[in-house]
Amino acid sequence: MAPYVRPLQLKIKLINTPFINVFLFSLFWAITIIVSKMAFNRGAHPVTFLIQSSLISLTLLTVYVLLQKYQELKNLPRKVLGGLMLANAIHLD
């Protein structure tokens, strides 16, 4: 007989699997492409749309990361943290 696993532990294990991470990334990427295409077809200015979507993404990811990884980020050297922020800024553009 298999050992009993609590439902919350099972959810945590499923959320942390590589398949779920790739699936969620692909899903949100597809949604972003669809929303961008709809906005551009309706006449959105590309530069303004890029700035707005980048700021929204940066804000949401910052809140998410700070809530979950604050202690780890606090222990990083400033040089490493600055490099990560620069790499993230380059990646977003």
Check whether 16 has a pLDDT greater than 80.
no
CA 62/CA 56 separation, integer angstroms: 10
> What single-letter amino acid sits at 15?
I
* 63 and 79 inside one domain: yes
Structure tokens that stand for 68 in this block: 């979950």
Tokens at 64, concatenated:
């998410």
- Under the banding of pLDDT at 50, 70 and 90, the label for residue 30 is very high
82 is written with which tokens?
A: 């600055």
Is it the case that residue 41 has pLDDT exceeding 90?
yes
Domain that holds residue 21: 1-44
Q: Are residues 56 and 36 in the same domain?
A: no
Based on the domain organization, do 7 and 40 belong to the same domain?
A: yes
Domain count, the chain: 2
Which of 73, 28, 81 has its CA nearest to residue 53?
28
Mean pLDDT of all residues belonging to the chain = 81
Report the C-alpha gap between 43 and 69 in whole angstroms. Answer: 39
Are 34 and 77 part of one and the same domain?
no
Question: Do 50 and 89 lie in a common domain?
Answer: yes
Looking at the fold, whether 84 and 54 belong to one and the same domain comes out as: yes
pTM given for the model: 0.52
- Claim to verify: residue 36 and residue 53 sit in the same structural domain: no
